């Protein structure tokens, strides 16, 4: 079929919950994608960090192929030979004590919410049904009904109510507001160490340390959503590592599946995850042998530290290059993860992404910003190719 035929088919038969760019991709390798017409594009988005290791990384594809010939699913009614090693290796990589596997990032966040509430009733002594979780405004933790109940994005909430109670929202980075919101009934503080959808926002220096101290002082759990920021995206295994701060629970996902299949988990303290007993929580596909085999291959790649180092070094180069461009008002983020705020008078919105696609670069716009998060296998020359395309679209070169 021709490209337009593929697009027409999708428009006719799929729900319109996305508005994709008019490209139809059929092949990927490393940091590059190819459409059905044979045109190549540099991937400057990496599946929102799900493709940290690029498209079809040989080690990950090999692990998936090997496991496909052996066993793909058992359900948790039985043990499988990939599950225990996956949990041990993920815990050791992240310096945590216990793993609760899941599938999507949203499922991991939902699971963390359930665990935090149960811990609050069993351990903290919160009255039954009164547990609260404090979150930050402009958060993004997923799209389920419970999660959008504490979103501040009206597009995510409009006509999806009634919403789940039990959440308080405070401004991100405001420790005084957070301190005022925490009470004896607070089960957890749930935060992204770097807010992704809000614009790759790094919190004020010292904020996360103060959050940790507040949670310690009030016998409250600190839950860090690292689904997008974790697993080397920011230049560390976990984004909280930059601050020398430890959470009680983390949610991880996206990159954990190597861009092959959805794999996520809640990881953290054994005494917190240990509140779960058989029959109280489950998921048919969570911890399946195929997911665990791919996840183990991902963990092996991360254990070398190579990808963390690549994100730190190439991220500094990316931020430097983006900051030099005319038409750029601000660059935020950390590692190979940046949000480019476009200056007034320059093109913004979807036309920018469309113009970049015409120049062979796939990126994602949001209002007056561009989200840049290439695979961690990208090279300096490929970064130059992408940044030069952005400069061209914004109508200028480097600052003089």
Q: What is the pTM of this model?
A: 0.97
- Asked whether residue 87 is domain-assigned, the answer is yes
- Asked whether residue 21 is domain-assigned, the answer is yes
SS3 199: coil
29 and 102 fall within a common domain: no
DSSP at 241? G
Can you give the residue range of the structural domain that contains 137? 71-303
Range 139-150 average pLDDT? 98
Residue % of the chain over a pLDDT of 90: 98
Burial of 355 (0-12, 13-18, 19+ CB in 10 A): middle
Tell me which residues are annotated as active site.
140, 225, 254
Q: Which of 268, 303, 338 is the last residue of a domain?
A: 303
SS (H, E, C) 281-293: CCCCCCCCHHHHH
Range 178-202 average pLDDT? 98
Tokens encoding 56:
């079809």
Whole-angstrom CA distances from 29 to 34, 150, 351 are: 9, 38, 26
DSSP at 310? H
242 and 265 fall within a common domain: yes
Instruction: Give the tens place of pLDDT for each residue, 222-253.
Output: 999 999 999 999 999 999 999 999 999 999 99
Instruction: Give the tens place of pLDDT for each residue, 50-90.
Output: 999 999 999 999 999 999 999 999 999 999 999 999 999 99
Count of domains in the chain?
2
pLDDT category of residue 399 using cuts at 50, 70 and 90: low
pLDDT category of residue 400 using cuts at 50, 70 and 90: very low
Q: How many CB atoms lie within 10 A of CB 68?
A: 12
Query: Measuring CA to CA, which residue among 277, 296, 241 is closest to residue 89?
Result: 296
Instruction: Give the tens place of pLDDT for each residue, 319-375.
Output: 999 999 999 999 999 999 999 999 999 999 999 999 999 999 999 999 899 999 999
Is 44 a residue whose pLDDT tops 90?
yes
List the CATH number of the domain containing 197.
Answer: 3.40.640.10
List the CATH number of the domain containing 35.
Answer: 3.90.1150.10
Q: Which of 288, 303, 318 is the last residue of a domain?
A: 303
Nearest-5° Cα angle at 8, 6 to 13: 95
Q: How many CB atoms lie within 10 A of CB 358?
A: 11
What integer pLDDT is reported at residue 367 of this predicted model? Answer: 87
Residue % of the chain over a pLDDT of 70: 99
Tokens encoding 208:
């996360």
86 and 181 fall within a common domain: yes
């Amino acid at each position: 079929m021709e490209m337009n035929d593929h697009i027409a088919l999708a428009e006719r038969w799929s729900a319109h919950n996305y508005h994709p760019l008019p490209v139809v991709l059929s092949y990927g390798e490393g940091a590059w994608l190819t459409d059905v017409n044979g045109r190549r594009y540099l991937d400057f988005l990496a599946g929102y960090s799900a493709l940290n290791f690029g498209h079809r990384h040989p080690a990950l594809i090999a692990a998936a192929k090997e496991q496909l010939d052996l066993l793909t699913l058992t359900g948790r009614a039985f043990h499988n030979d990939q599950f225990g090693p996956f949990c041990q290796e993920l815990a050791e990589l992240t310096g945590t004590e216990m793993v609760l596997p899941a599938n999507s990032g949203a499922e991991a966040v939902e699971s963390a919410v359930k665990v935090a509430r149960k811990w609050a009733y069993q351990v903290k002594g919160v009255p039954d049904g009164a547990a609260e979780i404090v979150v930050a405004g402009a958060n993004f933790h997923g799209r389920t009904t419970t999660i959008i109940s504490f979103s501040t994005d009206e597009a995510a909430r409009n006509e999806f109510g009634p919403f789940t109670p039990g959440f308080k929202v405070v401004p991100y980075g405001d420790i005084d507001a957070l301190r005022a919101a925490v009470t004896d009934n607070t089960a957890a503080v749930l935060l992204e160490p770097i807010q992704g959808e809000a614009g790759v926002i790094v919190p004020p220096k010292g904020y996360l340390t103060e959050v940790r101290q507040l949670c310690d002082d009030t016998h409250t759990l600190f839950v860090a959503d690292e689904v997008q920021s974790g697993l080397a995206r920011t230049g560390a295994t976990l984004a909280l590592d930059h601050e020398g701060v430890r959470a009680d629970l983390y949610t991880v996902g996206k990159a954990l599946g190597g861009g092959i299949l959805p794999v996520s988990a809640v990881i953290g303290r054994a005494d917190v995850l240990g509140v779960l007993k058989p029959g109280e929580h489950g998921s048919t596909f969570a911890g399946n042998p195929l997911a665990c085999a791919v996840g183990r291959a991902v963990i092996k790649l991360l254990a070398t530290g190579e990808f963390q180092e690549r994100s730190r070094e190439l991220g500094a180069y990316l931020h430097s290059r983006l900051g030099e461009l005319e038409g750029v008002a601000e660059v935020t983020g950390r590692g190979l993860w940046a949000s480019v705020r476009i200056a007034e008078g320059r093109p913004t919105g979807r036309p920018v992404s469309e113009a970049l696609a015409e120049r062979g670069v796939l990126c994602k716009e949001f209002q007056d910003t561009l989200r840049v998060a290439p695979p961690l296998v990208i090279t300096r020359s490929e970064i130059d190719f992408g940044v030069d395309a952005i400069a061209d679209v914004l109508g200028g070169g480097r600052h003089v």
